[in-house]
Amino acid sequence: GAVVSQHPSRVICKSGTSVKIECRSLDFQATTMFWYRQFPKQSLMLMATSNEGSKATYEQGVEKDKFLINHASLTLSTLTVTSAHPEDSSFYICSARVQDGVNTIYFGEGSWLTVV
Amino acid sequence: DAKTTQPNSMESNEEEPVHLPCNHSTISGTDYIHWYRQLPSQGPEYVIHGLTSNVNNRMASLAIAEDRKSSTLILHRATLRDAAVYYCILRDFQGAQKLVFGQGTRLTINP
């Protein structure tokens, strides 16, 4: 399958600071990527759809000014958590859609964010 | 988004087949049935998908009911590495084509 990579895999930041998570499609171009967050023992919650060259589409209840998404190239989308607080601590996962005829979606390894 | 219903948990023994059920009675004509699985602290892994016909790949088989209101993921010989949360998801082939996750089935494999 296609490879999606996230960086960093783990990050700890201080409350009030911003942190950026990168999502890269390594062996294909992705016009569309998706960002999720997952709390322990819960399912994945879709945050937003990231479209190359245009604004992201956010799911209801997700603050677009807090979770900034940039998809500036066909292989890279970034999620910036601004003014992070302890309640933003979570597992953030991205995915990318492959143009393989059925638009299969592949996921990255996830990034653990801990805000202290 | 059309919803799916899965058992919260299932248990099986190593080297035995596992049948993971999924109900999706409100499936629409443009919905594909996708299965992903997630191991602890990892991103979900694509398993299989289908529309109407049964599907086989190296990981699993997908059996789809004739009325498409239910499906079953079949692991032919479970190993300990198959222990994961399995998600059955309906994905509309039109529009945003996003994956919306339910609670999934936590599969435990006994040695």
Q: Which residues have a Cβ under 8 Å from the Cβ of B29 and sit 6 or more positions away?
A: none
Looking at residue B2, what is its pLDDT? Answer: 61
**pLDDT grade for B85, boundaries at 50, 70 and 90:** very high
How crowded is residue A9: how many other Cβ atoms within 10 Å of its Cβ? 13
A54 touches chain B (CB under 8 A): no
Tell me the average pLDDT across B23-34: 93
Average pLDDT value for residue range A65-83: 95
pLDDT digits 0-9 by tens, A1-54: 689 999 999 999 999 999 999 999 999 999 899 999 999 999 999 999 998 888
B103 touches chain A (CB under 8 A): yes
Looking at every residue in chain B, the average pLDDT score rounds to 94
pLDDT score at A95:
96
Taking the Cβ of residue A47 and every Cβ of chain B, the question of whether any pair is shorter than 8 Å is answered with no
| The pLDDT of residue A105 | 92
Tokens of A9: 């895999």
From the list B43, B102, B104, which residue is nearest A109 (CB)? B43
Write the residue in B97, B102, B103 that is nearest to A103 by C-beta.
B97
Q: H/E/C letters for each residue in chain B?
A: CCCCECCCEEEEECCCCEEEEEECCCCCCCEEEEEEEECCCCCCEEEEEECCCCEECCCCEEEECCCCCEEEEEECCCCHHHCEEEEEEEEECCCCCCCCCCCCEEEEEEC
Asked if B87 lies within 8 A of A43 by C-beta distance, the reply is yes
